Amino acid sequence: MAASGCRGVRSILWKYGSYGKNLFVSRSKMVPQVKCFLIFKNLAAAGPQKFTQEFIDKQVEEFEVGKRHLANMMGEDPETFTQEDIDRSIAYLFPSGLFEKRARPVMKHPEEIFPKQTAIQWDAEGRPFHFLFYTGKQSYYSLLHDVYEKILAIERHQDKMRNKGLFTSDTKQILLTGSRWLLKEEIEENLVENISVQDYMRLIQLMELLLSMPYCSLEEEFILKFRKQLEVQSSKYEIPALQYDPQGVAFSFADGRRKSAKASITLRDSGSGNITINGRNYLYYFPVLQNREQLMFPLLFVGMSGRFDIEGSVEGSGHSAQAGALRLAISRALLSFVSEGEVEKMRQAGLLTADPRIRERKKPGQEGARKKFTWKKR
Amino acid sequence: MNLHKLTSRLCPKATQKFRHLHIQSSGQQLEAVAVETASAEANPLSVFRTSERDPTYHSEGHSGQYYTLPPTHIQKLFPYGLPPRFQLQIKTFNEGCVMVRPPALELISYLKRADYSKPPLRYVLYGDIGTGKTMSLCHALHYCYSQGWLIVHVPDAHLWVKNCKELLPSSSRPSRFDQPIQASQWLKNFKITNERFLSKLKTTQRYVWTKRESTEKGQPLGELIDQGVNRMKSSSDVVGAVLRELRLQAGGATEGEGAFKLAVAVDGVNALWGKTSLKKEDRTMPEELTLIHNLRKMMKNNWSGGAILTALSQTGSVFKPRSAYLPSELLGEEGFDNMEPFVPVSVSNYNEKEFESCYLYYLDRNWLQHPHSRSEEGKKELIFLSNKNPSILERLCAFL
């Protein structure tokens, strides 16, 4: 009885897919003898939870209404309430001390919260809608077909131009610098299905083929959908402002951090090369040669070693970390004295990157972060 | 600042004689010395060397240049007196070259102009670690030696207050403690340095060492010293006796052939008034050490006919923080009161000209092997990393 009941449940699930969840509830009311472990077993076999389109639409409606309520609560205009305002209000109303930002309360559009899912791809009789359904990756193969269609269209266009005698190879080329192809993960996200590495390579090859044709500018829009713009890295750094002393000497402030050591310095353009840290000469504050080399590196790299006077204060952590923090602070302060090209060079030399390494936490059941207790065979 | 207090408390005789006292408040200031390179005697090949070997004739024009110490002088005068790293350098380069620097020149000029019928003046060389105090002291001492003075040189007074293996209760006084090894070592070195004086000077009183041994009045000083060297037990007392004799006889122009000037040079003078790290057998601190007591008596200017040259030192000192370098900090209250009045001479890092000549000297000796060190960039790196501090520069170049 229980076995047949379970088989029946499974067949219903297969037919109705996402309705299975609702059916569960009804089924268990009708047949209370169905044991609990059967239900759990089928839940796991059903795969990740599926949401119907209705469900998602309902969520979107609720989100919009909730947004207006929130705006009223905060005393702002519901019409011009943006996502940033929502985030701010939620952080204010539900303050959370959790370290993991993703664990804090969040209110976002359902599109961003619920994973994208494919709708049901077959009709009531079980016939699939798409002609490529039985390939298993219908969106991917249909994309490949589209690209090939476009290639053929361009070839036809070429032939037409040749027939007319207007064929030229130097047509408008698509500008591809500063952008890259979408990654495999991003394409998977767009297609809402998994593809393998070989599939991805095939797609990129096809796109390159499309690009190699002289008249590819006809499909520029289509191609650019698959390219992502890279932002210029060096424009991300904010250059500290250059201030002037009453005497006219230029100076700038900057901060730096490394591994819980905080440093802040003043770089003066007076021209003697003295460095004072926490009131003492750097020769006596950093008796170790390595730390002094760290201080020297940004100045030597830019070539202005004897030009500046540095006054710094640093606290926390150990001597190496303090030297690293000071080095970062000096490089940042130098940004305002140096040209654009130099900024890029400094970034590539790694002078402007904050070192993200911090002390790893000790785990329970081990001596330290990585060291384990003595392993005894028996 | 204690240095300002010092100027007001200096004895009036000194202020009359020495019109400009180079009192600098911090040892870090880089002095701009006038660039006068080749004088007539200078070697045409090397700008940074001078062929003038006698410190008597060193002047401002030689500042920043290296002069060679004659090897015989090194053996006699400085068997133990130079800093250990410099001794290694002498062995490596096969010659001892010392840079002529303003503090040493200053000291020598004071010594030249002092009046030796009056009580001796105390000169204290002070400055940050590794700036060249001991070397300047040795330079001035070389001058004294070439002038024919009698040298009493304690290379490092810190060696007498710490790490002594044997500490015996004194034979003469119950509460004092002796250090036989250090005392006999010092007596031996004294003998090497001042050989020609040993036969000329005579003792003025009778010294009794044990029941059977005594030195009569009128014996040459050499015998006294031999007594101390042979009999370790009483060597510390011998040291005391020798110092006393010298004090009594220095500057006595009427003694006939015994006329001489006495130079007392003590390096690490702050050890005399600091704490000791020595302990007696039952783990308590000794009340008094013979050697230290006698040295302190020398420091007092109740004799005449000489000069007291001293240098402070933080590196060997016990219980003193590394950042202390001013006389007041290192000498302590007691020391400062005892040493006052004194003439402070500040020693600082190299200035540009001196750094240049040091760099050229190392290049000349092929000491800087790394090819990058010969370029401009390398020189800038050296300047930055050492901040023109002589000892740090030397250690840096050692592995280049």
**pLDDT tens-digit readout, B161-175:** 777 777 777 666 667
Average pLDDT for chain B = 74
Inter-chain touch A292–B383, beta carbons under 8 Å: no
Across the interface, do B384 and A283 touch by the CB < 8 Å criterion? no
Nearest to A281 among B28, B383, B385 (CB): B28
**Nearest-by-Cβ selection for B380 from A292, A293, A306:** A306
ipTM over 0.85: no
**For residue B150, what are the β-bridge partners?**
B262
Tokens 């045409």 correspond to: B44
A283: nearest CB among B377, B380, B392: B392
* Per-residue pLDDT tens digits for A110-154: 988 888 777 778 888 888 888 888 988 889 999 999 999 999 999
Whether A273 sits inside 8 A of B323 (CB atoms) is: no
Task: Give per-residue burial for A199-231: e unless 16+ CB within 10 Å, then b.
Answer: bbeebeebbeebeebbbbeebeeebeebbeeee
Average pLDDT score over residue span A285-290: 88
Task: Identify which has the larger pLDDT, B308 or A362.
Answer: A362
Q: Which residues of A touch B392 (CB under 8 A)?
A: 283
Task: Give the range among A308-312, B11-15, B297-301, B328-332 with minimum mean pLDDT.
Answer: B11-15
Give the helix ranges, DSSP H, for chain B: 2-9, 12-17, 71-77, 84-93, 102-113, 133-147, 180-193, 195-198, 221-230, 235-249, 290-299, 327-339, 352-364, 376-386, 390-398
Contacts of B128 in chain A (CB under 8 A): 284
The model's pTM is 0.68
State how far Cα B333 lies from the chain centre. 22
Q: CA nearest A212: which of A184, A182, A164, A176?
A: A176
Q: Which residue is listed with tokens 């970390």? A: A321
- A272/chain B closest Cα distance in angstroms: 11
Distance from CA of A247 to the nearest CA of B (A): 22
Say yes or no for a CB contact (<8 Å) between B389 and A305.
no
Show which residues on chain A lie within 8 Å of chain B, measured between beta carbons. 273, 280-284, 289, 292-293, 296, 299-300, 305-306
Which chain B residues are closer than 8 Å to A292 by Cβ? 384-385
Mean of pLDDT values over A12-22: 44
Q: How confident is the model at residue B15 (pLDDT cuts 50, 70, 90)?
A: very low
- Picking from A283, A288, A299 by the largest number of B CB atoms within 10 A of its own CB, the best residue to mutate is A283
Nearest to A318 by CA among A286, A346, A289: A286
Contact A284 B377 (CB under 8 A): no
Give the gyration radius of chain A's Cα atoms. Answer: 32
* B194-248 pLDDT per residue, tens: 877 777 777 777 777 766 677 777 777 777 788 778 877 778 778 888 888 787 7
H or E segment and range at residue B168 = strand B168-169
C-alpha angle B199/B204/B207, rounded to 5°?
95
Chain A: closest CA distance from residue B387 (Å): 7
3-state helix, strand, coil in chain B (%, to 5): 45, 15, 40
| pLDDT for A37 | 53
Location of structure tokens 């210029």: A232
